[in-house]
Amino acid sequence: MTDAVVFDLDGTLVDTPRAIVETFTAAFTAMGAEAPDPAAVRATIGLPLEQAFGKLLGIPLDDERVAEGVAQYQRLFREIILPRSRELLFPHVADGLAELHRQGFTLTVATSKFYASADALLTAAGLRELFTVVIGADQVSRPKPDPESGRAVMAALGIGPEQAVMVGDTTHDLLMAKGAGMRSIAVTYGIHSREELATVGPTWTADTFDEVLACIRAAFPGTGEGR
């Protein structure tokens, strides 16, 4: 049986919120637009880039400035975030993921990043080979919080929701999991507060990545150390 863990990226594995704000600010500057308030940018983390730029600019998603903003962001992402990927990993993430992989868990990612950005970030952080499936926002028609991303992971692995658990730091992640029928682990060290996360009823809540590992082992007592 395949026991799969579906991870979000930003705010869950990689401490990117500050760098994301920096990249959005640089993108707005490159567009000749006034940079948004950092709190407004943070509020969009977890949404696809098009939705984030649409919200921040106050324009429809089909406006050409949204596409320009996305293009500028992707260019600056390669300059600002990728070189810092390893140092941005949350404590114990690298060792914890390697241990889960060694114990036989199937590791996957469902992210609001485009696939190319997610793949590049994981590669730069030295983690890509640990993940069997990576689903980006541009690989589905309805990104998180819609359950399509979670269902895409399960379809790729040929498993049902009882064989998967989602780990994420926003209500978007948890709602995706709930819609796909998965259990979920909410992490409190990312974007959304413990109180916000609690509103959507995660199965478990973890304050550190070590606690995430403990929750995963509790979810699948027949895999790894729990075997």
- Apex 169 CA angle, 166 and 172, nearest 5: 75
Asked if 142 and 166 count as a contact pair (C-beta separation under 8 A), the reply is no
Backbone angles phi, psi at 205, to 5 degrees: -130, 135
Question: Half-sphere exposure (CA, 13 Å, Cβ side) for 78?
Answer: 10
**Distance between CA 29 and CA 22 in Å, rounded?**
11
Question: Half-sphere exposure (CA, 13 Å, Cβ side) for 132?
Answer: 19
Strand segments (E) across 64-174: 106-110, 131-135, 164-168
Asked if 190 and 207 count as a contact pair (C-beta separation under 8 A), the reply is no
Active site residues: 8, 10
* Element (DSSP H or E) covering residue 185: strand 183-187
Q: Phi-psi category of 201—alpha, beta or left, where left has phi over 0 and alpha has psi -120 to 50?
A: left
